Amino acid sequence: MSVMVSVFDAHRSRTSEKYTAYPPDVLPMFVAEMDSMLAEPVREALVAAVTNGDTGYVGHGRALPEAFADFAESRWAWRVDPDLVRTTTDVSVAAVEMLRRIIEPGDQVVIMPPVYPPFWEYVSEAGGTVTEVPLLAPDGPADPFDTTAGWRMDLDGLAQAFADGARTVLLCNPHNPLGLVHDRASLVALAKLAAEWDAVVVSDEIHAPLVHADAVFTPFVESCPEAAALGVSLTSASKAWNLAGTKCALIVGASERARAWFDALPTEVVERTGILGYTASVAAFSEGEPWLASLLTELAANRRTLAERIGDVLPGAEYRQPQASYLAWLDLRALPWGDDPAALLVDEAKVALASGPAFGRQGQGFARLNFGCSAETLDDGLSRLHTAFRQRADG
């Protein structure tokens, strides 16, 4: 049984941004939210909490740190110390609050565009200044079936940023919007370079449970001793189990330095965790893996459908199957939609995609497509895009 539902059914019953930001005739394939039903253990846990009136302030138990530690060891052989786990409302808040503990006003924070647009906002909200070290683009045309050849960190650029005064890196792993899973060798190289400059790495790992079978996820702090000493990981059940609105994320450390950062967090940072998000996350990490396996099977089929059809649907477009998640980074620079194809396609194709330039100047001519949907919805989206392309081509 599919975990996905019809996007049109979702339009009729859901009130989240994905289904209300555009008119009903626009297919929403922009924001990173799936057209999925809840995993049964998660649904049951939430129903029980609401039925019992358990909707107050979050408690101070160890259920979620322990559930995540078990999940991390089972899935990634990552031994998490539950005493070095804190919760908060979401990964955005976790990123800002950790940066506030780490940097001084005006300090440089490295980000690697094209990257999730709020990264710029996190840095400024925390009082820092952004230093961009863009990822190195792939060489040559994209092979849509090759998930190994792609973008990579610019280690020379990072070294120069450290030499110029940067002492913090905000990493995205897996990297949104590319679906790039940084390999262990790259993470170790980053950690050793950071150690030379006494720099800190804050790693957003929210998409980690969604890594596909042909890639291997390595948590940054688990990659090597240097990373454990200077890093912190941010994660959540929200992307993998479609729980963004329930408001719960985890901050995970692996050192006494991290413990000191955590101890310095304002009490409210932890206490703003949503109790329903906490409840849902415990259920997801402890009982949600069978549902997650079914989800990943459906997502793998959709990413392959894109690989098989992209050349016919949008001749001249380039796409590589992502190693993680349900987000496709479409290179539409050869097509007649300019620097921001999404801005035109929402009218011409009635498909809402995420704007490429929002991910940095490296995103000009690109758009991000969310294939966390049913096969039928994906087919509809591709058909609409093809029709829009033909209308452009026919003038």
Q: Which residue has the tokens 């992502």?
A: 322
The stretches in the chain having pLDDT less than 50 are none
Q: Dump pLDDT digits (tens) for 13-45.
A: 999 999 999 999 999 999 999 999 999 999 999
Q: How far is CA 331 from the centre of its chain?
A: 19
Q: Dump pLDDT digits (tens) for 239-269.
A: 999 999 999 999 999 999 999 999 999 999 9
Residue 289: the pLDDT is 98
Cα–Cα distances in Å, from 336 out to 39, 339, 393?
41, 9, 8
Which of 394, 387, 306 lies closest to 347, judged by CA?
387
Which of 233, 209, 239, 208 lies closest to 85, judged by CA?
233
Residue 393: the pLDDT is 87
Domains recognised in the chain with CATH numbers: 7-38+289-388 (3.90.1150.10), 44-286 (3.40.640.10)
β-pairing, 27-28 vs 351-352, is: parallel
Dist CA 316 CA 310 (whole Å):
9
Residue 303: the pLDDT is 97
Is the distance from CB of 94 to CB of 313 less than 8 angstroms? Answer: no
Q: Does an H or E element contain 273, and which? A: none
- What pTM, to 2 d.p., does this model score? 0.97
